[in-house]
Chains A and B, each alone.
Chain A
Amino acid sequence: MRVYTTARTAFRALRRNPMRAMLTTLGIVIGVGAVIAMMEIGAGSSTALKKTIASMGANVLVIRPGTASSGGVSFGAGSTTTLTPEDSQAILRECPSISNATPMVRARVQVVYGNRNWVPNAIYGATPAYLDVQDWTILAQGEPFSDRDVLNGNRVCLVGQTIVRELFEGESPVSKEIRLKNIAFKVIGVLTPKGANMMGFDQDDVILAPWTTIKYRVTGASSSTSNQSTSSTSSDSVNTLSNLYPATQGGLYPEKASVQQADNPMPIRFENIDQIMAAAINSGEIANAIEQVGAVLRERHHLRPGEPDDFNIRDMAELTKTLSTTTTLMTNLLLAVAMISLVVGGVGIMNIMLVSVTERTREIGLRMAVGARGKDILRQFLVEAVVLCLTGGAMGIVLGHGGSLLVKLLLKWPVETSLTAIAAAVLVSAGVGIIFGFYPAWKASRLDPIEALRYE
């Protein structure tokens, strides 16, 4: 018997009792629908979750200058001045695994507004890319500074929520002027609240400005050599806004021994920065990104093979681990839910098929009497089950997809259409049809035609 004939027979048999066929299909419709909806909603939630963890900085690489040492005394990480803004641009340009990078300088000075003052946890000088790297692009108010502001060293800044609370007492800080070490900065935007990071560091206690402004107008030195006590003396000096280096205290570099200086003369680079912050395109690319950044920096810094790095690259290993664990957990959870739904649907199909076999005992007997072999009957019932499952699968895909779209529209949940889930659902529904349809079909094929014909 040809497959076409079998399929046609199956369709006719199903059409003869549309109500029963529909009820049978319902199990699979709901099963597959649940799978699709769960997969789509789950994938959306998973992505949202990943994004949330990523926004904590899981993809971020921090590149800091290496260690200077003098006479066996190490000055700790970041004590040399080997990184330049050009390094940052080169990293962004030459590393395919890096999505964005920003040079950064840090300062810790007093901020004054009206009769209030405050010393923020961090005053960062960066480029607008910083917001992208930190996934902080949406501002609470105002707008971010631009690359042009960075080029011109404009005195503009963004302030965090803690600054708003401490200095402005709730009024909008946008277009107000604050003073950092007597330099007036115009507040052009307010960052959204981010709360504390994993180490309890208040991330909202921050002021963000173009790195050129911070470096050349505010600190004039690397943060490792400046601190609050030395900079406080700046209030004594005359505030000359046009002065590029208004308060230069301390040397640009840590003091070097005269022998060392003679051995290793270093061209003075005034453009040195405290660190580079870069973002990998995703958490899986972090290892590649570290390798690429290392290669680019070694080449730019003319380091010979065997010579130690004059920089450190740090990733957020803990966060990355959390991210991958969460992703695996979500995937497994979704898989478990999908499997349970399909097994439930399959058992439903099996039950109705068993009922159908009992109900159609006489038909089976008749078919056998007119010449159907056991395997013909087996095939017919199997094809019926598969047809039911595939029809149910198709309807389930529509239902599940519709359901997840509805969730997206009504609840504003993140939803991701998953072609894999759809393909898997079709395959699995056919598989469920074969697996759970086999027992009833086998039972039907084993019927004795005499008994079957006599069955009431």
Chain B
Amino acid sequence: MADGAIQTNNSSGAAPPGSVRDLLRLWPWLRPYRGYLIFMLVTATLAMVVQSILPLVTAALIDGPIARRDTSGMYPLIGLALLFGVLEAVLFGLRRRAMTTSALAIETDMRRDFYQHLQRLPVSFHDRWPSGQLLSRVTSDLSTLRRFAGFMAVFFFANLAVIVVVLIMLVRLDAVLGISVCVVMAPLAIATRYYERQYNIEARRAQDLTGDLATGVEESVLGIRVIKSFGRRGQLLENFTSDAQRLREAELKKNRTLANLWTVIGSYPQLVLAGVTFFGVLAVAHGRLSTGELVAFITLQLRLNWPLMALGWLIAGTEETVAASARLFEVFDTKSDIIEPESAARLPVNTGPARLQFDRVSFRFPGAETDTLHELNLDIAAGETMALVGPTGSGKTILTALVARLHDVTGGAIRIDGVAVDRLALDDLRRTVSTAFEDPTLFSASVRENITLGLPDASDEEVREAIEIAQAGFVYELPYGLQTRVGEQGLSLSGGQRQRLALARAVLGRPRVLVLDDPLSALDVHTEALVEGALRRILSSTTALVVAHRASTVLLADRVALLDEGRIVAVGTHSQLLATNDAYRNLLSQKAETRV
């Protein structure tokens, strides 16, 4: 297992600053829309051209017909001015339309790919990554990216072009003065570069802290019952406030860098202008330059102001986008360590129960120093039901997660019908193995959707059977029957009801291997007896591994394996173990309970 490959990004540690390379990596998502992007660039440039022609038309009009007091001579030029005026607006509108289509599509595509990628990352990744960090990526980072793709990228180039053109014109107007301006402006580029880097690091930190804040929010909302129960509102607010304050400080740091950058970009050309005025007037005084030329030079140089200011703003936006892309690629670059086999093995064609073997299986949690499971051997024959019993913390839960490869073993192999699970295609494996977890997770969807989670095409008959086996007949009495929405956004069900739905989900379609993690813990005695009766029917036709805490559940099994400290210490029937094994007796004996 490639442990440590994923580093939780702890925002207190400095994240590596992103680079422009991260922007280039966006290309695969931009590519499908490159036509739009070029169109946007073209229309933006055309609009700028039109914009600069309009004053020329005005000037021609004033110098020409108006100066000549020639009213009828005005019409063609007025017409032209009107045409250009309308054209500018139309070009503007067209560009915005193109932006709507492309930038939004790029954002939507990336969001889709991000979600799809995340769904396929292993459980160990999700355990490690704070949820808010993922959420902030899919919301605020993607919006940043959309703004960049739709707007900034185009203007970045357009503005750079304007600046270069103006500088060239300045040089052509007066070589000495023009080149001097270019040289004197050079430090601006250096200063910009400096602030840009600083801003990148600060933007990254602020984005990370935004993620931390989202994590805090999510926990405060999901844990609301515990928070209320202990009356810890004040403490939560305090934690939230300190998170929000850290974010504020990071934002203010960004703000300071930005203020520096913008002030430098805004004022420095003004200082240069003062110099140009001084030396320009001197040049005129010494007859090296005409007054008209000086005025033209200064007017032209003034036209640099806006594109420079805009550039300052665009640079900030670009750096934010760089940081956002770096954050996104951190996740995109994480490869699942639950790897699909290159050439998947096939299970022997058989629809009956499969044999399940644990062959010297070891497991170690990422970052732990000792194994949780030690070279564990267990052989469950096809059609057999094996109960797994052991004290809290002995490793039962992780063992159940290994079969469907939610985690990979760190040693040994788990085999189904003799084929190691990591040689099977994941889809095949998870179709063969069905698991009911100790936490019965329901999604905000209809009852039917929740039961047919793994088999959306299950027939009504199959669903009915699964409901019966799990004794979940209560669903028919819900307001809309199987169409009733349950889960967080729907009807809330009791723990016992949720557990029965999770059980129905697991037994649906009679899986060849069934793994049940303490499937009856939340049921009352009466329901438990009913479920046990129904479960027996399906257990006879499938191979099952059932984690059990109670004798009543153990009795469902043909044999029992006793797990202690990550090792199977005994295997036998319930009565055998009860008779021969002290630890087992201690674990399942009800003596202490029967004192009532």
Is chain B found bound to chain A in the same assembly?
Answer: no
